[in-house]
Structures are given as structure tokens and as C-alpha cells.
Amino acid sequence: MKLMVIGGGGREHAIIKKLKENPAITEVYALPGNGGIAADATCVDIGAKDIPAQVEFAKANGIDYAVVAPDDPLALGAVDALTEAGIPCFGPDAKAAIIESSKAFSKDLMKKYGIPTAAYETFTEKDAALAYLDTVSAPIVVKADGLALGKGVIIAETIEEAKEAVRSMMEDKVFGSSGDKIVIEEFLTGPEVSVLSFTDGKTVVPMVSSMDHKRAGDGDTGLNTGGMGTIAPNPYYTDAIAQECMETIFLPTIRAMEAEGRPFKGCLYFGLMLTPKGPKVIEYNCRFGDPETQVVLPLLESDLLTIMQATTNGCLAETEVKFSTGSACCVVMASAGYPTAYKKGFPITMTAETAKTTYVAGASLKDGQLLTNGGRVLGVTATAATLPEAIQAAYGLVEGVTFENAYYRRDIGQKALAAMEG
Ligand code: AMP
Ligand code: GLY
């Protein structure tokens, strides 16, 4: 079988490595992939958003199945176009991908179907938003409606700060048209949990839970990043909470999307907060999380391609999805300075042992030498029977990677360990 995976980060590398455990797969193409992914797939210089070129490539090369991993091509209709061209693929169509690309859509969906989330109001007029802020108390959260590179969420400690956020989004347009509409919502507290799930539009099968570490510095300090490391499973997410989430969040969401004429197929990511009043949805993503995938898929024991095809064909209920009972830890190694300015082009060396479970995010290949080519360079994952062992093993593997200006957090998983002890 010939497969094509759209995207070019650590998440895509983890998906490709897992897919290749199936011996029926003879060829994997990555569009565009990256210098590290090139060790496991044939990289093709077609951008993740160039949908016409993707369709043409798939047809010309006899692709049997395609996986669309990033949010942009999903929102732009890559799955619609490939399906129309007769290429079966993994991922939601554009109609369903809106669950991530519009916060107003997802908030209204949750309100209409009684899915627990932070109380909120939506505004398209600045003055109405400012007047509303005089009726609520701080802290309060202000969100731009559209995609804003992960920066469109302001947690305001005072009402004045919230008003400033409203003015910057609606008057100064700091996020462009993404701020034409804004959501003002209640500030929630509690541990955050990421739950990725497989769904064929009717059945939903949650994967093992995980915890991201979004801030750049140890102890959750510094700027927000795309994610500096992950652990799975998340110790805050007990069996009782999992059951409650299935009943109050996962199934109601799948049914709501179906009722709206937007059945969701693919990976639906639930960003949850475990509040004193029960689990609530902070955000939905229409795709695998990055770097959550780098700890979740290594724990998957069933065949990934079979599961993906079942989401496409609507037979997920009859398909085995089994996870190991062990734990995983992924430590992201970045270029010093990330998420602001950093240098690139430094040679990367790693031992063969480390390379087996390393997922490359930002590297290029020049004359056979891997060079750093991004803020987040790679993620090193270890699995083990227990979380403390997985953390120790991941940091052990990190020792096997060297590049100039490498930076990584030293405390990935420590909060989870404290939760297990407390
Ligand atoms: P989002 O892009 O919606 O996932 O928000 C980014 C981050 O902001 C989340 O991971 C939370 O840590 C935080 N956040 C978002 N909404 C809320 C809220 N209503 N209350 C508290 N924190 C929030
Ligand atoms: N790790 C968060 C995300 O993929 O959006």
C-alpha cells in the first residue's frame, strides 16, 4: 500500500513511524515532511496548504490512503478535495473542521447541546463588549474568534486589562480579521488534560490521556510555546472522570456535530479543564495534538492504519483500539531563544538508539547531514511501565542528542509526578 501524509512536524513524524509498523505499507510520502522525516518517508516538496498539488500528486502516484494532519489544510478542505478525487483519507472535511477554526461556532455548539464549558458571550461590536465587561468580575478571559497562531487568548487579571484586550483586538486589529468577532468567557481553574479521540462520526474512542507543557521555562514560567513536552497518561484523569467525560462531553459532541449536518471523522482533540464543578471543554482541535501525539501513539498497540481506515469507512465500533498500560514522556529540544528569535543551521547528531523514538519537527538535510531548521527541533520520547521510569528514560535519551544552542525544559512530567504523590 502507498500512503501520503500531509504535514511536516514532530506530530507527522510520530504518525509515520507508527503507520510503518504495518508491513502492508510499502511506501510513505510526506508532503512536505522535513529533513528528519526523510529517514522514514519520501519527502515531496509540496506545501501543506497546496491542495491542488496534493490531489495531483496522489492521483499520479497511485496513493491508496492519505492522512491530513495539520489544521490549515483541514480547514481549507483538503479532505473534501482528496475524497472527491477518489483518494480515501483520514481527517474531517471542512464543514466539520470548523469546530477548531471558529471559537464562536464551538461555543455556540456547546451551549445549544448542553456540553459543559465556560460561560461566555460573543461580540461583534466593541462598545457592547466594553459595556458587558462593566457587569462582570475579573479574572476574565478574552478570545479572538478565528485562528490567531495560539496567541488570541488573553487571561485578564483586571477588568481594565480585559478592556485593553478588547480594544487591541477590535480597534487596533492586532489579530486582523480573527478579532472581528470576540468571545468573553468565565475564567476557569483546575488541571488541564488533553484527550485525543478517534471517531467515525458515530462512535468515539478516546485515546490515552496526556498533559502538555506549554510554557518555555521550567516551573511553567516564560512565554507560551507550541509545547515543550508531554506525558501520558495524565494522572489527574481518573477512570471516573473519563467515564463522566464520555457521557457529558465526548458522545454529546459527536452527536451534536452529526445533528448539525457536520459529522466529524478523524481525530477530535478535547482540551479539558477539570474544574471544581466537573470537567469542562476549554477548546476543541480538529486534529492530532502536537506534541501530544508523540506520547500517545507510542503507547498504541493496535494497528494505526486499520483504525484510521475504520474512521473513514464508519466501522470504528468493530475495530480494536488498544493502548499499553505503560507511560510515555516526550522532551522537546528547541533552539535557544525560541519562541522568539533563534539561530538555525547547526548540525544535529544522535545515537541510533535515540533516533528510533525521536520525532523531528524542524530540521533540514544537507549533504546527508541533519541541520537545525526551526524553533522546536525535535522531541525525544521514551515509554516504560511507569511514569517515573518513562521520564528518566526520556532524559537519558536526550543525552544522546547534540546540537549547538540546544535548549529543553528539565521538569517535563514533574507536575504529574507531584499529582500522583499528592
Ligand atoms: P485555547 O487557545 O482556547 O486553548 O486557550 C489557551 C490556554 O488558555 C488554555 O490552554 C488555557 O490554559 C487557557 N484558557 C483558555 N480559556 C480559559 C478559561 N476560560 N479559563 C482559564 N484558562 C483558560
Ligand atoms: N498541543 C496543543 C495543540 O496541538 O494544539
pLDDT tens, residue by residue, 233-284? 999 999 999 999 999 999 999 999 999 999 999 999 999 999 999 999 999 9
Topology annotation, domain 327-421: Glycinamide Ribonucleotide Synthetase; Chain A, domain 4 (3.90.600)
Q: Quote the cell numbers at residue 389.
A: 521510569
Q: Which atom of ligand 2 is nearest to the CA of 227?
A: 1
Q: Where are the domains of the chain?
A: 2-93, 125-180, 192-318, 327-421
Reported confidence tier of residue 401, pLDDT bands at 50, 70, 90: very high
* 125-180: in CATH 3.30.470.20: no
Q: Residue 176's pLDDT is what?
A: 87
How do beta strands 406-407 and 327-335 pair?
antiparallel
Close Cβ partners of 44 (under 8 Å, ≥ 6 residues apart): 29, 30, 31, 32, 33, 57
Instruction: List, for residues 65-81, the tens digit of each pLDDT value.
Output: 999 999 999 999 999 99
Q: How far apart are CA 268 and CA 270, in angstroms?
A: 7
Q: What is the DSSP letter of 318?
A: G
Q: Which atom of ligand 1 is nearest to the CA of 271?
A: 4
Residue 71 CA, chain-centre distance (Å), reads: 9
Q: Which ligand is nearest to the CA of 286?
A: 2
What is the residue with the minimal CA distance to atom 5 of ligand 2? 289
Q: Is the pLDDT of residue 371 over 80?
A: yes
Q: Which ligand is nearest to the CA of 154?
A: 1
Q: Which ligand is nearest to the CA of 9?
A: 2
Least confident range of 88-92, 146-150, 348-352: 146-150
Q: Is the pLDDT of residue 335 over 70?
A: yes
258 residue type, one letter: E
Q: Residue 145's pLDDT is what?
A: 87
- The yes-or-no answer to whether 192-318 and 327-421 have a common fold is no
Instruction: List, for residues 193-230, the tens digit of each pLDDT value.
Output: 999 999 999 999 999 999 999 999 999 999 889 899 99
Q: How far apart are CA 276 and CA 258, in angstroms?
A: 30
Q: Is the pLDDT of residue 384 over 70?
A: yes
Instruction: List, for residues 301-334, the tens digit of each pLDDT value.
Output: 999 999 999 999 999 999 999 999 999 999 999 9
Least confident range of 20-34, 48-62, 175-189, 193-207: 175-189
pTM of the model: 0.95
Are the beta carbons of 235 and 387 closer than 8 angstroms?
yes
Q: Which atom of ligand 2 is nearest to the CA of 290?
A: 4
C-beta 156 within 6 A of ligand 1:
no
How do beta strands 153-156 and 2-7 pair?
unpaired
Average model confidence (pLDDT) across the chain = 96
Return the H-helix or E-strand segment holding 133. Answer: helix 126-133
Instruction: List, for residues 142-201, the tens digit of each pLDDT value.
Output: 999 887 766 788 999 999 999 999 999 999 998 888 888 999 999 999 999 999 999 999
The residues that bridge with 198 in the sheet, in sequence order, are 205, 267
C-beta 290 within 6 A of ligand 2:
yes
C-beta 285 within 6 A of ligand 2:
yes
Q: Is the pLDDT of residue 82 over 90?
A: yes
C-beta 141 within 6 A of ligand 1:
yes
* 2-93: in CATH 3.40.50.20: yes
Our mutation pick for probing the ligand 2 site, out of 269, 272, 287, counting the most ligand atoms within 8 A of Cβ, is: 269
Grid-cell match 481506515, residue found = 309
What is the residue with the minimal CA distance to atom 3 of ligand 2? 289
Q: Is the pLDDT of residue 422 over 70?
A: yes
C-beta 227 within 6 A of ligand 2:
yes
Q: How far apart are CA 99 and CA 121, in angstroms?
A: 17
C-beta 50 within 6 A of ligand 1:
no
Q: Is the pLDDT of residue 382 over 90?
A: yes
Q: Residue 224's pLDDT is what?
A: 86
Tell me, in angstroms, the distance from the centre of ligand 2 to residue 1's CA: 30
Tell me, in angstroms, the distance from the centre of ligand 1 to residue 282's CA: 6
Q: How far apart are CA 413 and CA 102, in angstroms?
A: 31
Superfamily of domain 192-318: ATP-grasp fold, B domain (3.30.470.20)
Tell me, in angstroms, the distance from the centre of ligand 1 to residue 194's CA: 12
The residues that bridge with 271 in the sheet, in sequence order, are 194, 283
C-beta 120 within 6 A of ligand 1:
no
